[in-house]
Amino acid sequence: MDTLIASPKHISPELSPCHVRISKQLPELRALEQRIKMKIFHIPCLEDNYAYLVIDETTKEAAVVDPVEPEKIIEAAKQHGVNLTTVLTTHHHWDHAGGNEKMKEMVPGIKVYGGSLDNVKGCTHQVENGDKFSIGAHVNVLSLHTPCHTKGHISYYVTGKEGEDPAVFTGDTLFVAGCGKFFEGSAEQMYQSLCVTLGSLPQPTQVYCGHEYTVKNLLFALTVEPSNVKLQQKLAWAQNQQQAGLPTIPSTIEEELETNPFMRVDLPELQELVGFNDPIEALREIRKRKDNWRG
């Protein structure tokens, strides 16, 4: 989706076995590039936020998710040669919606989507759970109501052509190995949002969240499940990414079901670790521990 395999511009006359294999694969690689219609690019904002460009490669139309720093967004759009038509706002907090009005000034006519229950600045198109729309010709968007962090929080499930992995932009509901604070909702709502709504998406779905919190989230998750080998492995990987100045995002729904304690509360073994035999009570307890954690 956001990573293409670059084809070599030329093949040396002195072909190694590796080069021969690559040359035989070139038609397949080109076919792969032709099939990929959706690209996603990170745009780091503020201290640890991410905005994202979502591009339909066939029309060069693009949406931006949570454009808190509009000047950066406009520059990124120019670099990628795309026409910005849409803003996808996950929720009303200033570090996600605070750039919407400026985006409307800089890109006249741009559509700004936001949850109907959130007071999203600059919103022109209110959406509710199940609403669908598209970006360009091949990028389809499904709005998913994922409340708790805010009452009107929307996650956007995005699909391209058949064969491409889908993506979901989860704002501050689902983080890599974590979840948002329960500012405007309850543990019951967060359970529904994480474990039912998002947890039921196809497991290869790429998860793009609103903040780079991964290493801290994984360190906390290990206090809940210290024997989880997948967690240990992902922490080592995330620390390497952080040291290299690279993002730890996207994750996948499959990885979150393996490593995110907030999405694992249906498991009896996790419930036993936190002392509750009910998934919602287990989720409430883990959030309480995270709120008090000073790791």
**Active-site residues: which are they?**
91, 93, 95-96, 149, 172, 211
Contact in structure between 190 and 209 (CB atoms under 8 Å): no
**Burial bucket for residue 65 (CB in 10 Å: 0-12, 13-18, 19+):** buried
Contact in structure between 170 and 96 (CB atoms under 8 Å): no
C-alpha span between 145 and 117 (Å, rounded): 10
Q: What are phi and psi of 272, to 5 degrees?
A: -65, -40
Sign for the pseudo-dihedral over CA of 220, 221, 224, 230: negative
Place of tokens 């704002």: 171
Kindly give, in sequence order, each residue whose CB lies less than 8 Å from that of residue 260, ignoring residues fewer than 6 positions away. Answer: 174, 176, 177, 178, 179, 217, 221
Kindly give, in sequence order, each residue whose CB lies less than 8 Å from that of residue 51, ignoring residues fewer than 6 positions away. Answer: 42, 43, 45, 64, 65, 66, 67, 68, 69, 72, 73
Contact in structure between 6 and 32 (CB atoms under 8 Å): no
C-alpha span between 158 and 140 (Å, rounded): 6
* Beta carbons within 10 angstroms of residue 146's beta carbon: 33
Sign for the pseudo-dihedral over CA of 253, 160, 85, 6: positive
